[in-house]
């Protein structure tokens, strides 16, 4: 199939899959002629990708055109849509057009419907940060792609340490592959701990520390994440999602709702079993306390977007929340 849709926010997995396909399709001796990489953020390059995809390959192997940040399944100029329609039937069997994007294709668009009718589509999405099973499955899948066998405890330890950082996961798996060498048996949790320095943390652990009113621990965990190159705004987004989930569960329980399936659906939580865990976590907490945490997190986000140092932004926000007793008193305006 000459047209391929690759999308999703797991950039590392996307790039691995793309590199494997290119290696299988393109003759290295003719790569300088038969492999093109273009940027769809530029409409001119998007149109150029369609033109080059219609050109048969020279020499051996196939022709591959890769369009990163493809605009065709998102809002795009009508002229590009017309050019796409004209090009689809003209791509030769030994030509391949890879349309790569981070966002999910907009199913309402005519171009998306047209492409899905003729293209190979693969999604590369990161599991939600609270989805421990999904994170472990992602680690195991990435390990299998490299021919590595992980013990269950090793996969769990690696998932907890890496979080959603796909690039770091690739790096750590390379280290584990070298460490394992020709040793028999799966890689153990002890090997993972030795290579990663025993650091096991995630944004979820930061939220747990905040909820437990341990700001110093939360700050230390954030600093560890920042040192591991976790983007500051991604930490904020994960924390906000976690706290909003707690808030929804708290509000619904106070309204008298007891059905975990109903609570999970209203809170946007895919696994209803997680509600039991969240109930235990927020026992004794009030909606005002959780709203106060969200306000402090909003302050952190605003500081980051104004260019503040990430470490300072998190320290100021978390310490201010602690100084206020984690919630503004009912009936009083929020203190700044």
Model confidence pLDDT, tens digit, residues 17-32: 999 999 999 999 999 9
What is 132-196's CATH number? Answer: 1.10.8.60
Higher pLDDT, residue 323 or 121 = 121
Instruction: Specify the range with the lowest mean pLDDT, choosing from 102-106, 141-145, 169-173, 324-328.
Output: 324-328
Given a cut of 90, is residue 3 above it in pLDDT? yes
Taking the C-alpha atoms of residue 150 and residue 143, their distance in angstroms, rounded to an integer, is 7
SS3 199: coil
Q: Mean pLDDT across the chain, nearest whole number?
A: 83
pLDDT of residue 116: 92
Q: Are 196 and 159 in contact (CB under 8 A)?
A: no
| Average pLDDT rounded to a whole number, residues 170-179 | 82
3-state helix, strand, coil in the chain (%, to 5): 60, 10, 35
Sheet holding 3-7, edge to edge: 35-39, 63-68, 95-101, 3-7, 120-123
Q: Are 165 and 13 in contact (CB under 8 A)?
A: no
User: How far is 266 from 260, CA to CA, in rounded Å?
Assistant: 10
Position 199 confidence tier, pLDDT thresholds 50, 70, 90: very low
The answer to whether the Cα torsion of 160, 166, 168, 170 is positive or negative is positive
pLDDT at position 34: 95
Q: What percent of the chain has pLDDT over 90?
A: 28
Indicate whether this model's pTM tops 0.75: no
The two structure tokens encoding residue 32? 């300088």
Q: What is the pLDDT of residues 250-304, one digit of tens each?
A: 888 888 888 888 888 777 776 677 788 888 888 888 888 888 888 888 999 999 9
* pLDDT tens by residue, 117-170: 999 999 988 876 667 677 888 888 888 888 888 888 888 888 877 766 677 788
Q: Report pLDDT for 305.
A: 92
Length of the chain: 336
Of 110, 32, 113, which Cα lies nearest the Cα of 78? 110
pLDDT of residue 231: 84
Which H/E stretch holds residue 100? strand 95-101
* Residue reference for tokens 């980051």: 304
- DSSP per-residue codes, 144-193: HHTT--B-HHHHHHHHHHHTT-HHHHHHHHHHHHHHHTT-SSPBPHHHHH
pLDDT value of residue 39: 95
Q: How far apart are CA 137 and CA 147, in angstroms?
A: 15
Using CA atoms, how far apart are residues 69 and 74, in angstroms rounded to an integer?
A: 10
CATH topology of domain 3-123: Rossmann fold (3.40.50)
pLDDT of residue 164: 65
Q: How far apart are CA 27 and CA 106, in angstroms?
A: 34
Residue 336's closest CA among 311, 302, 312? Answer: 302
What is the per-residue pLDDT for 331?
Answer: 39
Q: Looking at per-residue confidence, does 192 or 287 come out higher?
A: 287
* φ/ψ (deg, to 5) at 63: -95, 135
Domains 132-196 and 203-323 share a fold: no
What is the assigned CATH class of domain 203-323?
mainly alpha
Please report, for residues 5, 59, 81, 193, the alpha-carbon distance to residue 202 in angstroms, rounded to integers and kept in the order given: 31, 49, 42, 15
Q: Is the pLDDT of residue 184 over 70?
A: no
Burial class (CB in 10 A: 0-12, 13-18, 19+), 184: exposed
pLDDT of residue 202: 67
Residues 49-58 have pLDDT tens digits of: 999 999 999 9
pLDDT at position 82 over 50: yes
- Determine the pLDDT at residue 292: 87
- β-partners of residue 7 are 101, 123
238 or 313, which is more confident?
313
Compute how many other C-beta atoms are within 10 angstroms of the C-beta atom of residue 224. 17
Distance CA 18, CA 64 (A): 11
- Where exactly are the structural domains of the chain? 3-123, 132-196, 203-323
**Residue in this structure with the two tokens 């924390």, named with its chain if needed:** 239
H/E stretch holding 35 reads: strand 35-39
Per the DSSP assignment, residues forming a β-bridge with 100 are 6
CA atoms of 64 and 84, how far apart (whole Å): 17
Quote the tokens at residue 126: 């990161």
């Amino acid at each position: 199939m000459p047209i391929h849709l690759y999308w999703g926010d797991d950039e590392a997995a996307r790039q691995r899959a793309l590199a494997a396909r290119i290696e299988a399709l393109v003759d290295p001796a003719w790569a300088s002629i038969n492999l093109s990489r273009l940027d769809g953020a530029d409409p001119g390059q998007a149109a150029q990708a369609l033109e080059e995809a219609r050109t048969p390959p020279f020499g051996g192997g196939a022709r591959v055109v890769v369009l990163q940040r493809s605009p065709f399944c998102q809002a795009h100029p009508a002229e590009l849509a017309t050019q796409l329609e004209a090009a689809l039937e003209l791509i030769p069997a030994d030509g391949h057009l890879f349309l790569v994007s981070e966002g999910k294709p907009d199913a309402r668009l005519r171009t998306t419907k047209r492409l899905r009718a003729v293209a190979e589509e693969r999604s590369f999405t990161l599991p939600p940060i609270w989805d421990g099973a999904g994170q472990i499955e992602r680690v195991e899948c990435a390990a299998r792609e490299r021919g590595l066998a992980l013990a269950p405890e090793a996969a769990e330890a690696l998932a907890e340490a890496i979080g959603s950082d796909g690039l770091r996961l690739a790096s750590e798996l390379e280290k584990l592959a070298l460490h394992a060498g020709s040793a028999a048996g799966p890689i153990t949790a002890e090997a993972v701990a030795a290579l990663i320095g025993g650091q096991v943390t995630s944004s979820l652990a930061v939220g747990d520390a905040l909820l437990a009113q341990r700001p110093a621990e939360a700050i230390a965990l954030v600093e560890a994440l920042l040192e591991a190159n976790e983007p500051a705004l991604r930490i904020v987004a994960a924390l906000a999602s976690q706290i909003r989930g707690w808030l929804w569960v708290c509000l619904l329980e106070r309204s008298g709702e007891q059905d975990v399936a109903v609570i999970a659906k209203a809170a946007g939580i895919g696994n209803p079993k997680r509600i039991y865990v969240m109930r235990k976590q927020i026992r004794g907490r009030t909606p005002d306390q959780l709203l106060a945490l969200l306000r402090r997190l909003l302050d952190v986000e605003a500081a980051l977007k104004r260019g503040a140092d990430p470490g300072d932004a998190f320290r100021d926000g978390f310490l201010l929340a602690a100084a206020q007793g984690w919630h503004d008193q009912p009936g009083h305006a929020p203190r700044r």
